A and B are shown apart, each in its own frame.
Chain A
């Protein structure tokens, strides 16, 4: 069984991002980029399934600029067997990515696609769900535990009320939550070996997908600065403020 793991190159989680001076977006020139942490968890989970002989091959796939190759090498250093880059400079929105991934699924015929539940840059939380819909496959999102036996995946999901366990028939889509696993450090020898693993490159046109953005970003602003707090005299004053000023109770 093949597992496909889509990964996204995002601004590193340690970087404090800044809005561009012209308010058209976030400034990502010269900031450190790395693999979206949720995607890293997805790669780790897929590699573990292969190590348990549940899967036979793990294929990492990314869509975006040429530097996404680094992200894919990283996925292969963690343990993915080979990688595919769909290279484009166009700003990619979740639906376009889902369509691209569907094309790759059609080509590669994996039984399982494991994705991060969302990317830490735009936090859309849509690609996995859209891909499931396009493929007509079952989906188990926000996974904190995955077990695969035969043609069924038993997935524990993190939901608002606690945890929910579902069984889904393969082929299926799983999206990862933070608690699913703790990704390993890529070993230094594996980083070296990743360089020699296969990495195929396609253009969106090769896959017959139109990735033109459907949404227009009007303006990006920094969140409003937090106002300094005040010390209240007593509980009554606090309740009064919550009721009348903040209007939250």
Chain B
């Protein structure tokens, strides 16, 4: 087993290029996020991930969480409860949360990196804080002052956990089919009834209370998405003085047996079996889905980080093996005898695909995180709006592409190991299994893709997409200032990639209203196209800085040269795949839809 080492140097470089933390620290909102404080936070978080979370990852997978039918409790694997207590102790749960509720108000650009480390070292563990944060933010967004006063501080400190209860057996991607119902009571509360499935950490032994956010319909609600309300349904009712009261009518009746994330209990929740679970309305009636979708952006961003985290971890694991495993002769130096497999060109290809896509997805995620921060905290409303538009466009790209590339990365992570990768005890297989859920939850890749071509592109006439193309073209010109051979190649390839994006965007805008099925048939390739080309753009920003530092005589030449080599690989190998995706978008819909339904 390898040991996770957070790529801190790379994090640092991203905070000096695509997400300049020193600039954020100038905004009053983020004045505590000075570069030195942030690097100390990252270092300590890295230590925690390596020493506490990473060692529990494999044992947690093997042991799994267990449901105890006698009392409907869930036991999590050995060590996790203590690790959560330690995580709370270091203040991990409150990092990006508002200071007035005990958080640290750190920018998303910092939280993205601490979250990545969490997911790299132990995805199952990372899910609880991630979803609890989403639940907390939903209460902050639309909850009454009273709800905030009762719940938020304890959720920020991690004393209480939180969950998101959306899915029902008949309502998966389509939440308009939600059937759970809520009946208003005379005292202003509601009685909630229904069954929710796939509820991550719906029951566990880490905290005394679990605050469920539940989507349900009021008796007089209109059908469809405009008739869904959002409720706070705590596991334990809370007394007026903040102490815990009676057990609410909400229980976990079973947990799922899954391909991966075994340590994370995926529960079936039953509300209202004994007369109704007490719930409190968040915001206004029938606006639940709207609130949930604002939160969903945060959660989707988080799942994209999971993709990056797992790809990184799988890469580290594969590199460690490839350095040690001696097998066959080096084709370029056959007389030298057997060699570590890292010298075989195809092993290099696999490791480079893992590494380059991980770094590109990370660079793009950090550019997005930075835009999230500016959209929240910049004093100029125009700057906020431009950044928000960029974020809205990039969330489906980041979520969709980072989690899809993670499938390939973790697949290759096994392939590098050969037969040993197929054997569970090597550990490579766990990343592959854990990765599989990331393209599904918080909106499948197709849901992201449809969001991208429809809501985020066609609906606004492609304004933001075209602005991104303009920015990329302007940046590509900057690349020509360098004499570096890798960057010269990158420039040519990037321009071809941008042309492909432009072709595909134009096709989508011209087609969406007249032949929407043709647009949707190419939507997943659109995610890939945007992911690769925008990833190349952000990676190239980092590479250009690396080149400048090398020229300025920076001592850490090896590190910066690696950035340029990775960029070169990405430009030569990945951008052609993006161009192919553009061809599929423009030409592929007829073939995709030609076969008669009955012929399947």
Contact = CB atoms under 8 A, between A and B. Distances in A.
Binding partners A and B = yes
Interface of A: 14, 29-30, 32, 34, 70, 73-74, 77, 185-192, 194-195
B104 A189 contact: yes
A188 B33 CA distance: 12
Interface string B102-127: 00100000000000000000000000
Given A14-B5, A187-B89, 10 more contacts: A30-B556, A73-B36, A77-B44, A186-B40, A186-B90, A188-B45, A189-B91, A191-B37, A191-B44, A192-B37
Given A187-B90, A188-B91, A70 B36 contact: yes
B280 interface: no
Contacts of B94: 189
A-B pairs, top 4 by smallest CB distance, nearest first, are: A30-B556, A188-B91, A187-B91, A189-B91
Contacts of A188: 41, 44-45, 90-92, 95, 104
B90 A185 contact: yes
Interface in B72-99: 86, 89-92, 94-95
A190 B32 CA distance: 12
B40 A185 contact: no
B556 A185 contact: no
A195 B34 contact: yes
Interface string B540-561: 0000000000000001100100
B47 interface: yes
Contacts of B47: 185
B104 A195 contact: no
17 contacts: A14-B5, A30-B555, A30-B556, A70-B36, A70-B40, A73-B36, A187-B90, A188-B45, A189-B91, A190-B91, A191-B37, A191-B40, A191-B41, A191-B44, A192-B104, A195-B32, A195-B36
Max chain A C-beta neighbours (<10 A), residue from B41, B47, B48, B94: B41
Nearest to B50: A14
Interface string B40-63: 110111011000000000000000
Nearest to B8: A32
Contacts of A190: 91
Contacts, number: 52
Interface of B: 5, 8, 32, 34, 36-37, 40-41, 43-45, 47-48, 86, 89-92, 94-95, 104, 555-556, 559
Contacts of A187: 89-91
B104 A185 contact: no
Contact of B48 (A34, A185, A191): A185
B185 to A, nearest CB: 39
Given A70-B36, A192-B104, A185 B41 contact: no
B563 to A, nearest CB: 14
A222 to B, nearest CB: 19
Contacts of A14: 5
Nearest to A188: B91
A161 B369 CA distance: 57
Contacts of A30: 555-556, 559
A14 B5 CA distance: 10
Nearest to B33: A192
A74 B36 CA distance: 11
A77 B47 CA distance: 15
A123 B5 CA distance: 26
A69 to B, nearest CB: 8
Given A191-B41, A192-B32, A192-B37, A185 B95 contact: no
A52 B325 CA distance: 52
A32 B95 CA distance: 24
A74 B555 CA distance: 25
B551 to A, nearest CB: 17
A77 B40 contact: yes
Contacts of B90: 185-188
Contact of B40 (A29, A32, A73): A73
B555 A195 contact: no
B37 A185 contact: no
B44 A186 contact: yes
Contact of A185 (B32, B34, B36, B44): B44
A198 to B, nearest CB: 16
Nearest to B557: A30
A14 B104 CA distance: 29
A173 to B, nearest CB: 29
A109 to B, nearest CB: 30
Contacts of B43: 34
Contacts of B32: 192, 195
Contacts of B36: 70, 73, 195
